[in-house]
Amino acid sequence: MLCPSCNSKSHVLSTAFKKGFTIRYRQCNNEKCSKKFTTREELSDGMNYKGIVKKMKELLREVK
């Protein structure tokens, strides 16, 4: 996974397993950045592009 700040590779510091998803605590490998960030992983039975597009449109409407 790439760092959201500098786009360098990152590594996992620790992992937490929750019901239905996994949380990974990560840190950037770039010594100048070293940003810490969290990711959330969920299993999917496939890509539902129509559902994803619909959800994105709803989120954009909320921002306006």
Structure tokens, 23:
């949380």
| pLDDT at residue 42 in the model | 86
| pLDDT at residue 3 in the model | 95
| pLDDT at residue 37 in the model | 96
> Regarding beta strands 36-41 and 21-28, do their DSSP bridges make them parallel or antiparallel, or are they unpaired?
antiparallel
Regarding pTM above 0.85, the answer is no
More confident residue, 14 or 62: 14
The 10s digit of each residue's pLDDT in 2-48 is 999 999 999 999 999 998 889 999 999 999 999 999 999 987 766 77
